[in-house]
C-alpha cells in the first residue's frame, strides 16, 4: 500500500515532535497512539506530573521536584542528589501543533506576491493588537503562503501561537524561521519563551541569551532572568554528573594502570627468576662438565678406546647399553657417570637421548637364551 507523500511528511514531523517532547503522548487526544506504542513493547517516559519539562504548577505555588528519569548512559548517583528543586510556576500542558507545510526551498517570490504578503502581515499585526488571535494566526499563515522565505513571518506567527498558549506550535515556527535566518533575534526570543512555558529551562535560557546577544530586548532580558535560576540549577546538576563521571573514569583508569604495572612487575620478576634458574642450571652443568673432565678416574677410563667406543655407541642409542651388561668395566664407568654427572648429561641430551638413565628390562625370553635374545654380538 502506497502512502501519500503529504501523510509521510506529517508523520515524520509528528515523530520529531514526540522525540523532542515525549510528554505530548499523555494528551487525551493521543491516548490511542500511546496504547499502540505500549502494545508493541515500547516504554513511554514518566508522566507529565513527575517531569519538570511538562509538570503542572503546584496548587499552593510551592516548588516541585524534578523527578524525570535520568537519560540512559549517565552515571548512577544517590537519589538525594538526583532531585533538582525547580520552580515550575507557569508551566503549561504541551500542545500538538499542525505539521508545517513544506515549500520548495528555491521557490522565488514574485513582486506581486511579496506585496500581497506584506498586506496580509499588516492585517495580521492589526488583528493581533486587537486581541483577535485566531484571525491573526490565519492572516500570518496566508502571508507565509505568499512568501514562505520570510523568517520574520514565521517568528511573528510563533509569537501569535504563544498568545494562544500553544508553545510547541511557536517552537515549530521559530525553528523554521531560524533555518531560514540563523540570526533572527525574534525567532530566538519567542522560541525561548515557548521552551519556558513547557519547562525546558536550559533550552529557554540558551535561546533567550542568543536573542539578547543578537538584538537586546528588554522583554527578552526579563524572560531570561526568569528562567536563569532553574537553568543554572540544571546546568550545575549536569556538571555534577559530568564531574562524578570524570572521577569514576579517572579511578577506573588508575586501577587499570595499577593492574598493568603489577602484571608487568610480576612478568619481570618471573622472567628474572627464570633467567636466574637458567643461569644456575647452566652453571651447574658447567661444573659437572668441568668435574667430568677433571675426574682422574673417568679421565683415565676415557683413554681406553673400548670405553670411548662404548660411550659413543650408548650416546647414539641408550638401549645399546644392553650390549655391555656383561662388561663390568663399561658398566662401572657408566654407573659412575650417571651417579655423579647424570643431571648434566640429561641436559646435554646426547643426540636426543639420555644414556644415563637406568637400562630398560630385557625383552621377554622365548625359551632360547641365544645371543640374539639380549642383543649381543
Domain ranges of the chain: 12-46, 84-101+148-294, 295-360
Determine the average pLDDT of the residues in 153-168. 96
pLDDT for the residue numbered 284: 59
Q: Which three cell numbers stand for residue 51?
A: 517531569
Which residue from 94, 56, 52 is spatially nearest to 237, judged by alpha carbons? 52
- Residues 32 and 68: their CA atoms lie apart, in Å, by 23
pLDDT in tens, 26-76: 776 677 777 777 778 777 776 544 344 333 443 333 333 343 334 444 444
pLDDT for 147 beyond 80: yes
pLDDT for 254 beyond 80: yes
**What is the CA 307 to chain-centroid distance, rounded?**
75
- Segment of 16-20, 125-129, 332-336, 366-370 carrying the highest mean pLDDT: 125-129
pLDDT for the residue numbered 6: 55
Find the DSSP H helices in the chain. Answer: 5-20, 31-39, 79-82, 111-129, 133-146, 151-163, 167-180, 185-198, 201-214, 218-294, 296-301, 305-316, 328-348
pLDDT for the residue numbered 69: 39
pLDDT for the residue numbered 342: 57
The larger pLDDT score, comparing residue 191 to residue 285, is at 191
Neighbour tally for 92: CB within 10 Å: 14
Determine the average pLDDT of the residues in 271-285. 75
DSSP string computed for 91-152: --PPP-PPPPPP--TTPPPPHHHHHHHHHHHHHHHHHHHTT-HHHHHHHHHHHHHH-TT-HH
Contact assessment for residue 161 and residue 169, using Cβ atoms and an 8 Å cutoff: yes
pLDDT for the residue numbered 289: 56
| CATH of segment(s) 295-360 | 1.10.260
Contact assessment for residue 180 and residue 154, using Cβ atoms and an 8 Å cutoff: yes
pLDDT for the residue numbered 43: 76
pLDDT for 249 beyond 70: yes
User: Please, which pLDDT band fits residue 78 given cuts at 50, 70 and 90?
Assistant: very low
The larger pLDDT score, comparing residue 201 to residue 371, is at 201
Which residue from 101, 96, 97 is spatially nearest to 9, judged by alpha carbons? 101
The larger pLDDT score, comparing residue 9 to residue 320, is at 320
Q: Whats the size of the chain, residue-wise?
A: 377
pLDDT for the residue numbered 264: 92
- Which stretch of 108-117, 206-215, 262-271, 358-367 has the lowest confidence by average pLDDT? 358-367
Which residue from 89, 91, 53, 86 is spatially nearest to 197, judged by alpha carbons? 91
SS3 sequence of 204-234: HHHHHHHHHHHCCCHHHHHHHHHHHHHHHHH
DSSP state of 236: H
pLDDT for the residue numbered 327: 86
Contact assessment for residue 158 and residue 168, using Cβ atoms and an 8 Å cutoff: no
- Residues 250 and 255: their CA atoms lie apart, in Å, by 8
Which residue from 161, 159, 158, 144 is spatially nearest to 102, judged by alpha carbons? 144
DSSP state of 52: T
- Output the average pLDDT for the chain: 77
pLDDT in tens, 96-135: 998 988 887 666 889 999 999 999 999 999 999 999 999 9
The larger pLDDT score, comparing residue 135 to residue 368, is at 135
- Segment of 209-213, 260-264, 303-307, 323-327 carrying the highest mean pLDDT: 209-213
Is it true that domain 84-101+148-294 has CATH number 3.40.50.720? no
Share of the chain above pLDDT 70, in %: 69
pLDDT in tens, 291-332: 666 677 777 777 788 877 887 787 778 788 788 888 888 888
User: Please, which pLDDT band fits residue 205 given cuts at 50, 70 and 90?
Assistant: very high
Amino acid at each position: 500500500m502506497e502512502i501519500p507523500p503529504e501523510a509521510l511528511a506529517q508523520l515524520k514531523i509528528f515523530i520529531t515532535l514526540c522525540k523532542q517532547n515525549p510528554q505530548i503522548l499523555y494528551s487525551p487526544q493521543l491516548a490511542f497512539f500511546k496504547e499502540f506504542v505500549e502494545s508493541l513493547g515500547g516504554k513511554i517516559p514518566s508522566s507529565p506530573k513527575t517531569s519538570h519539562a511538562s509538570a503542572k504548577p503546584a496548587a499552593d505555588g510551592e516548588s516541585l521536584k524534578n523527578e524525570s528519569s535520568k537519560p540512559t548512559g549517565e552515571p548512577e548517583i544517590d537519589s538525594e542528589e538526583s532531585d533538582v528543586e525547580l520552580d515550575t510556576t507557569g508551566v503549561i500542558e504541551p500542545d500538538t501543533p499542525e505539521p508545517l507545510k513544506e515549500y520548495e526551498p528555491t521557490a522565488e517570490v514574485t513582486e506581486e506576491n511579496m506585496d500581497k504578503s506584506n498586506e496580509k502581515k499588516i492585517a495580521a499585526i492589526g488583528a493581533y493588537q486587537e486581541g483577535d488571535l485566531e484571525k491573526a494566526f490565519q492572516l500570518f499563515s496566508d502571508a507565509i503562503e505568499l512568501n514562505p522565505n520570510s523568517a520574520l513571518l514565521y517568528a511573528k506567527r510563533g509569537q501569535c501561537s504563544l498568545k494562544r498558549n500553544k508553545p510547541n506550535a511557536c517552537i515549530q515556527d521559530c525553528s523554521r524561521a531560524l533555518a531560514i535566518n540563523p540570526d533572527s533575534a525574534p525567532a530566538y526570543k519567542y522560541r525561548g519563551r515557548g521552551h519556558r512555558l513547557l519547562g525546558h529551562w536550559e533550552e529557554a535560557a540558551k535561546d533567550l541569551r542568543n536573542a539578547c546577544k543578537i538584538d537586546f530586548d528588554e522583554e527578552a532580558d526579563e524572560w531570561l532572568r526568569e528562567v536563569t535560576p532553574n537553568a543554572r540549577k540544571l546546568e550545575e546538576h549536569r556538571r555534577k554528573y559530568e564531574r562524578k563521571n570524570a572521577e569514576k573514569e579517572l579511578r577506573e583508569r588508575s586501577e587499570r594502570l595499577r593492574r598493568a604495572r603489577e602484571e608487568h612487575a610480576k612478568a619481570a620478576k618471573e622472567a628474572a627468576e627464570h633467567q636466574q634458574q637458567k643461569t644456575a642450571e647452566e652453571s651447574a652443568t658447567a661444573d659437572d662438565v668441568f668435574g667430568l673432565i677433571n675426574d682422574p678416574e673417568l679421565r683415565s677410563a676415557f683413554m681406553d678406546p673400548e670405553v670411548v667406543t662404548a660411550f659413543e655407541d650408548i650416546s647414539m642409542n641408550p638401549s645399546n647399553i644392553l650390549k655391555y651388561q656383561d662388561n663390568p668395566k663399561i658398566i662401572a664407568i657408566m654407573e659412575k657417570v650417571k651417579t655423579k654427572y647424570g643431571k648434566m648429561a640429561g641436559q646435554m641430551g646426547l643426540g636426543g637421548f639420555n644414556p644415563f638413565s637406568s637400562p630398560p628390562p630385557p625383552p621377554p625370553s622365548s625359551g632360547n637364551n641365544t645371543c640374539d635374545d639380549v642383543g649381543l654380538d
